[in-house]
Amino acid sequence: MKYLTIKFFCILSLSLLAFNSANAQKYMTKTGHAYFMSHTDAIDIDGNNYQVAAIADTETGELVVIVLIKAFEFTLATADKHFNETYMESDEFPKAIFKGSVPELKAIDLSKNGTYDASAKGNLTIHGESNPVEKTGTLEIKDGNILINCDFNVLIDDYKIKVPKSVEDRVAKEVDVKIDLSLSPR
């Protein structure tokens, strides 16, 4: 009886330990930064979003990033209305999601500070359209946090974002996007 109880507690504590360590492998943020720039000869339109949420699992290398479309802030006064209502249709498609993996997350030593080149591969969903993507960026470990930096281009045609003929020269076909995340242990 006594032996069984001890065995039971051993298993219990081991399982709890396993459970805890499983938790510690996840890193997240709710205040990541996304920036985009649509550059044309006629006009530059850019927006900042400081409410990007992301989660990474260092055991599997998985990364999920969610960008709330309505949270973009613009310098140009009239941009936010057209961005949300005409182009992104954010009532219908409130978020953009990246779901994929960063293999480097598994390989690197998270306890040591350092900067690494990294690549992300997965699916990017914007405006309700999903496309497979593969992007490169940098990954930095700093005091136990994971900093992810990534610049890439988005072809708006790929995501079925329609631009009226009358403003074709004012909205770039290829939009530059920058993502800046600082993930801390969950």
Q: Which of 168, 170, 169, 131 is nearest to 153 (CA)?
A: 131
**Residues 102, 133: contact at Cβ < 8 Å?**
no
Specify the stretch interacting with other proteins by CB under 8 A; choose among 14-22, 31-39, 105-113, 127-135: 14-22
Q: Determine if 110 is a binding residue for other proteins (CB under 8 A).
A: no
Provide the H-helix boundaries in the chain: 2-24, 79-82, 104-107
Specify the stretch interacting with other proteins by CB under 8 A; choose among 63-71, 106-114, 115-123, 143-151: 63-71
Separation between Cα atoms, residue 54 and residue 61, nearest integer Å = 13
Question: Binding string to other proteins for residues 34 to 53, with x set by CB under 8 A, is what?
Answer: ---------xx--------x
Q: Determine if 186 is a binding residue for other proteins (CB under 8 A).
A: yes
Q: Determine if 9 is a binding residue for other proteins (CB under 8 A).
A: no
Closer of 14 and 115 to other proteins (Cβ) = 14
Report the residue from 90, 146, 150, 177 that binds other proteins according to the rule CB under 8 A.
90
Q: Which of 173, 168, 181 is nearest to 32 (CA)?
A: 181
Separation between Cα atoms, residue 80 and residue 168, nearest integer Å = 17
Amino acid, res. 184: S
Residue corresponding to tokens 């850019």: 46
Binding residues for other proteins, per CB under 8 A? Answer: 1, 4, 8, 11-12, 15, 18-19, 22-23, 26, 28, 30, 43-44, 53-55, 57, 62-64, 66, 68, 70, 74-82, 84-86, 90-91, 94, 97, 99, 164, 166-167, 170, 186
